[in-house]
Structure 1
């Protein structure tokens, strides 16, 4: 239950930040259109951005899906040879068959 609330918090926080970015771009376009000078952002945009950041950080910390910074627990159960095992880079259909006269 807490994970879904956290995910919703992150989603709402990111949506608030996107809305703030859109509002800021509209505000700057309005200032350019009226040929006004930019002094600062309106207070509601600043507060909306701060609320979005706070909500996204709270939601990310509420999901509790973090791993340890030290990977000792993950590494302790693996052998040394398994660190260099990269099955994604193994290829068995290569030109070595033609090179060594294997015809299959």
Structure 2
């Protein structure tokens, strides 16, 4: 039952956010028609956006879509040397050769 309610909250959060976007676009259009400068989005649109964010976040967190990441089982199968091996970072043309010549004079 909790999973179904969480999905409903996700849908409500997304729909409120889409309404917020539409309201912001309408506000910009109204300002253009009345030749007023854009000074920001009205407070009610900001509050509506924050409410939609919290509803959507609550729905995602409680919907059980998230699974825990267990790296310990994957890391236990390999040695550290296999993770440390990076052949793309191996460089043979570097200053060490010239420093060796200078130091051995």
Shorter-chain TM range is: 0.5 to 0.7
For residue 5 of structure 1, what is the aligned residue in structure 2?
A: 5
Is 1:68 the counterpart of 2:68 in the alignment? yes
Q: How do 1:27-46 residues align onto structure 2 when only pairs under 5 Å count? A: 27-46=27-46
Q: Unmatched 5+ residue regions in structure 1? A: 77-104
1:17–1:34: structure 2 CA closer, same or farther, 3 Å change rule? same
TM-score by length of 2: 0.66
1:73–1:6: structure 2 CA closer, same or farther, 3 Å change rule? farther
Paired residues, number = 77
TM-score by length of 1: 0.66
Distance 1:15 1:58 in 2: 15
| Distance apart, 1:70 and its partner CA | 3.1
Runs of 4+ in 1 over 4 A off after TM superposition: 71-76
